[in-house]
Amino acid sequence: PVLRALSYLGFSAPTPIQALALPSAIRDNMDVLGAAETGSGKTLAFAIPMIHSVLQWQKSNSSTATNDSVSGESHQHHDETRWEDEDEAEKLIHQQVEDSGDEDDASFTPGCVKVLENFEFDCGDETHTVGSHKKRPLLGLVLTPTRELAVQVKHHIDAVAKFTGIKTAILVGGMAAQKQERVLNRKPEIVIATPGRLWELVKERHPHLSNLRQLRCLVIDEADRMVEKGHFLELSQLLEILNDSQYNPQRQTFVFSATLTLVHQTPSRVLQKKNAKKMDKKTKLELLMEKVGIKGKPKVIDLTRKEATVETLTETRIHCNTDEKDYYLYYFLLQYPGRTMVFANSIDCVKRLSSLLTILNCDPLPLHANMHQKQRLKNLERFAERESCVLLTTDVAAHGLDIPNVQHVIHYQVPRTSELYVHRSGRTARATNEGLSLLLIGPDDLINFRKIYKTLEKSEELPFFPVETKCMTSIKERMNLARQIEKAEFFNSRAKQHDSWLQQAAEALEVDLDDDMFMGRKASEQEESQKQKMLKGMKKQLKHMLSQPLFKVLMKTKYPTQSGKLPQTSVGISESALSTVSKQQAKKKKSMKLN
């Protein structure tokens, strides 16, 4: 049934990571530690062995299993139940859900948006008897750092298990706990979960999670992020339960990530200390195995390049002052339209950029942990639908998400670790496609940039991204005016919120307020009118600027009308960012040869 599903999906040959992992996992029943580039097919490398393991268990217990053949009446009942489940799931996804605001609240992959719209929990056939439910234990558990990655993994497992009858369930934040309990009551064989929500349900002693020690397969996806110090306390508590002396000796453990074997050079001040150990790949893997509970000798697969990023990725940089980053970001988005992800290190930065680019008619889509799940889904649907679009996001969108056809990744702020740089950049140039990564490096980013460069052992310097300086004056004028508008609007909205809260509190306490207690003091009607008039004038001025063409055609002759007609002054940009960089590199090599 698995081969039939793979054929149905159009997969004719395994990827390198799959070719190396599958024989060891299925034939030899070994634990697997896998490191491969982003977009290399790691999910199926653990999904197929997990499904095989569940099928083997079902086969060995077939003598006591419930007969799957049911009467026509039962079939009809099952279809009705299934449609009820789909309706309920759709309501669940599109309702206003609670938002925990932690790392589980990452972005959602557009590749999975369609799946969510017709989301089937597919967690149990209602025609089974209660007795048969008891005989279906939890056999496979997949742990992921974000809820959206969990949904993506479920989508892949469901696709491969299409003809097997295996039930899967998803346990993540942002969904009502009662509904997730109902999902678990249907006894799915495979559960995909984020550590936080799973730990909550384990603490509540849900019957289906009462015996995690009987698991046949445990998967930790994006493991480097999951076991990082200071993150996912719940994961440590879960691993303590999973790895005690009573755990299933036949359990297989799969650990996968794009940066599993990436080693940071230990600072000299640390090495000088007594008993200090230099970290290498072997030591890092041994520590990881100890944390995860892998006993014995696992199959270690490392297909990452020394640089950790894929060959089809073109990496570039721009050095500038911190306040100039806005100019270069706006320049890039105008000059090279396409599907672009912009990463920042903080939610505040994403919010500010979103306001600025909205004022400049760039129609950005923000994505961060403080947004409601419903809004995140909407933004990602739009991002998936539009050919040219910009997604502003924090690092919660960096891990594991397979977002289709992302052409550019811009690091508005340099990431704090090499792993984050690899994962961010891995959102583009996936599955042999080409992509571009651009670092905007300010004075505050230099330390992080040097660390990343050193850790990834880059043999060549990153090329500088070519910028057409002639249009930068107009870019700066537009951006500076947009900043003034954004600042005025931000102050106005903040003042309104503050004053409204103060007024409500005063009314509740039945006290009078002095004018100077209001934010910026209560302005007279004349002053307020003047401010609004000034803001309106700035918006009108910006609207006029935005209506003017920014990029001009460079004349190749002194006589513009030589061809017999006037040339077009505005240009439909056809040259891609990648071709611009490759042309610059070719010129550089040519000049070096001449010298």
- Measured distance CA(37)–CA(31) in Å, rounded: 20
- H-only helix segments in 206-344: 223-226, 233-242, 268-271, 281-292, 325-335
| pLDDT value, residue 515 | 61
| pLDDT value, residue 313 | 86
- Measured distance CA(49)–CA(251) in Å, rounded: 12
- Measured distance CA(324)–CA(12) in Å, rounded: 49
- 341, 423 contact by CB (below 8 A): no
Query: In angstroms, how far is CA 481 from the centroid of its own chain?
Result: 33
Task: Write the burial class of residue 231 (CB in 10 Å: 0-12 exposed, 13-18 middle, 19+ buried).
Answer: middle
Sheet holding 252-257, edge to edge: 168-171, 190-193, 140-143, 217-221, 252-257, 32-35, 299-302
Of residues 102, 94, 235, 106, the one with CA closest to residue 176: 94
Q: Please determine, looking at this structure, whether the domain spanning 2-57+110-271+282-302 carries the CATH number 3.40.50.300.
A: yes
Write out pLDDT tens, residues 322-357.
999 999 999 999 999 999 999 999 999 999 999 999
| pLDDT value, residue 282 | 76
- Measured distance CA(547)–CA(295) in Å, rounded: 66
| pLDDT value, residue 595 | 64
- Measured distance CA(111)–CA(120) in Å, rounded: 16
Residues 6 or more apart whose Cβ sits within 8 Å of residue 449: 317, 414, 439, 441
- Token pair belonging to 533: 């008039």
**CA distance readout (Å), 368 to 17, 94, 290, 329:** 31, 18, 33, 19
Of residues 161, 21, 175, the one with CA closest to residue 108: 175
- Token pair belonging to 361: 């008619």
- What single DSSP character describes residue 396? G
At residue 275, the 3 state secondary structure works out as: coil
- Measured distance CA(201)–CA(204) in Å, rounded: 5
Residue showing tokens 């003091």: 521
CATH architecture of 313-468: 3-Layer(aba) Sandwich (3.40)
| pLDDT value, residue 64 | 52
Which residues of the chain are under the pLDDT cut of 50? Answer: 65-133, 266-274, 276, 553-563, 565-573
Query: In angstroms, how far is CA 459 from the centroid of its own chain?
Result: 28
